């Protein structure tokens, strides 16, 4: 059974088409990733699914309820951890959780038992009586997630949960999300612009670009479907011969993409292709600064379906 269904969702803001026919489904108990650069439409999709905004057209269902027709039923069934924290920084961790529980109509022993359970689950039991303002970035995000879980939702939305965290805290958060998915028997929809995060956490991903889903499947299948390997060639200097270098590389590999002085191509075997590429460029008098080869990544998947480099596009929209 599907816990989340989006059908042809469209949304525009003035002159910006934020969503342009987004469709996907998430099975019960699945960790599903919406992956895309900043501004791709991920957060708009989540805001529609969590009843915070309405789609211009299309339909969506969460936990079996129509988000437009029965928003209150949807809200009772979901937890939502937004990019911006909802923590009261002047209250303790425990006080934040108690307040959220009362908002959801929980009181007495049941509420206190649930708060104790969550503090232990997210590793904040020793910091429960400390004011949240003094928490580290990772602790604050774990408290955000605990707040979203107080009322035992069926579906948890995590909108860019590790944005702003340092690499160590981000890796620790990945472990927390994996544990939560198992411990709480949750369906989790995760939005992220970190390729490695989607690869690590999501059982399936939908890649979003300019308001559209351009690819969907397990990370491994999406990478496997590309076949072969990726070769990146960085030219030594800006000598006006990029177009000539592209033609040479295209005669050896496929799907050649140019990003400044860097050419990326797909080849059946990187180790065999590199000497051929270097030899052909050398014969043409085109100097190479570096060349690398790698198995397909989600960045290659994005490049394949959009013709644009994920990291470069993400930085350009940040």
CATH number at residue 244: 3.30.70.980
Regarding whether 150 and 13 lie in a shared domain, the answer is yes
Regarding whether 160 and 248 lie in a shared domain, the answer is no
Residue 310 lies in a domain: no
- Per residue in 40-72, pLDDT (tens digit) is 999 999 999 999 999 999 999 999 999 999 999
Please give the structure tokens belonging to residue 42. Answer: 């991920």
Q: What distance lies between CA 139 and its chain's CA centroid?
A: 20
Contacts 24+ apart (CB under 8 A), 7-11: 7/58, 7/59, 7/60, 8/57, 8/58, 8/59, 9/45, 9/48, 9/55, 9/57, 9/58, 9/59, 9/60, 10/55, 10/56, 10/57, 10/58, 11/44, 11/48, 11/53, 11/55, 11/56
Regarding whether 54 and 134 lie in a shared domain, the answer is yes
Regarding whether 249 and 186 lie in a shared domain, the answer is no
Identify whether the C-beta of residue 60 lies closer than 8 Å to the C-beta of residue 48. Answer: yes
pLDDT (tens digit, 0 to 9) for every residue of the chain, 318 residues total?
899 999 999 999 988 999 999 999 999 999 999 999 888 999 999 999 999 999 999 999 999 999 999 999 999 999 999 988 889 999 999 999 999 999 999 999 999 999 999 999 889 999 999 999 999 999 999 999 999 999 999 999 999 988 888 888 888 888 888 888 888 778 999 999 888 899 999 999 999 999 999 999 999 999 888 878 889 999 997 767 899 999 999 999 877 888 889 998 888 888 899 999 999 999 999 999 999 998 888 888 888 888 777 766 665 554
Domain count, the chain: 2
Residue 290 lies in a domain: yes
Give pLDDT, residue 181.
82
- The CA distance from 285 to 271, in Å, is 22
Residue 309 lies in a domain: no
Domain end call among 222, 239, 257: 222
Regarding whether 202 and 235 lie in a shared domain, the answer is no
Regarding whether 178 and 257 lie in a shared domain, the answer is no
Domain end call among 191, 222, 253: 222
* Domain range for 10: 2-222
- Per residue in 141-163, pLDDT (tens digit) is 999 999 999 999 999 999 998 88
Regarding whether 168 and 56 lie in a shared domain, the answer is yes
- The CA distance from 97 to 158, in Å, is 18
Regarding whether 147 and 58 lie in a shared domain, the answer is yes
Regarding whether 67 and 11 lie in a shared domain, the answer is yes
Closest alpha carbon to 190 in 217, 160, 148: 160
**pTM over 0.85, yes/no:** no
Q: What are phi and psi of 237, to 5 degrees?
A: -155, 165
């Amino acid at each position: 059974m599907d816990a989340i269904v989006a059908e042809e969702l469209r949304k525009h803001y003035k002159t910006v088409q934020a969503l342009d026919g987004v469709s996907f489904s998430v099975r019960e108990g699945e960790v599903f990733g919406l992956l895309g650069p900043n501004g791709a439409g991920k957060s708009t999709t989540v805001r529609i699914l969590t009843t915070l905004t309405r789609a211009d057209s299309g339909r969506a269902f969460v936990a079996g309820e129509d988000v437009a027709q029965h928003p209150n039923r949807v809200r009772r069934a979901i937890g939502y951890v937004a990019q911006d924290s909802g923590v009261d920084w002047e209250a303790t961790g425990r006080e934040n959780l108690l307040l959220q529980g009362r908002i959801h109509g929980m009181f007495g022993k049941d509420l206190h038992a649930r708060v104790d359970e969550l503090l232990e689950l997210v590793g904040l039991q020793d910091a429960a009586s400390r004011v949240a303002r003094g928490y580290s970035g990772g602790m604050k995000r774990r408290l955000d997630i605990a707040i979203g879980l107080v009322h035992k939702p069926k579906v948890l939305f995590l909108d860019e949960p590790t944005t702003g965290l340092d690499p160590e805290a981000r890796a620790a958060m990945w472990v927390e999300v994996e544990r939560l998915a198992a411990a709480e028997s949750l369906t989790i929809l995760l939005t992220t612009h970190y390729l490695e995060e989607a690869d690590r956490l999501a059982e399936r991903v939908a890649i979003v670009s300019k308001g559209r889903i351009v690819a969907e499947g397990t990370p491994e299948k999406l990478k496997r479907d590309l076949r072969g390997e990726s070769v990146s060639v960085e030219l030594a200097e800006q000598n006006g011969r990029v177009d000539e270098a592209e033609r040479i590389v295209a005669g050896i590999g496929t799907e050649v993409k140019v990003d400044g002085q860097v050419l990326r191509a797909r080849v059946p075997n990187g180790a065999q292709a590199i000497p051929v590429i270097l030899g052909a460029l050398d014969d043409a008098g085109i100097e190479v600064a570096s060349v690398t080869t790698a198995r397909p990544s989600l960045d290659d998947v994005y490049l394949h379906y959009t013709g644009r480099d994920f990291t470069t596009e993400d930085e350009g929209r940040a």
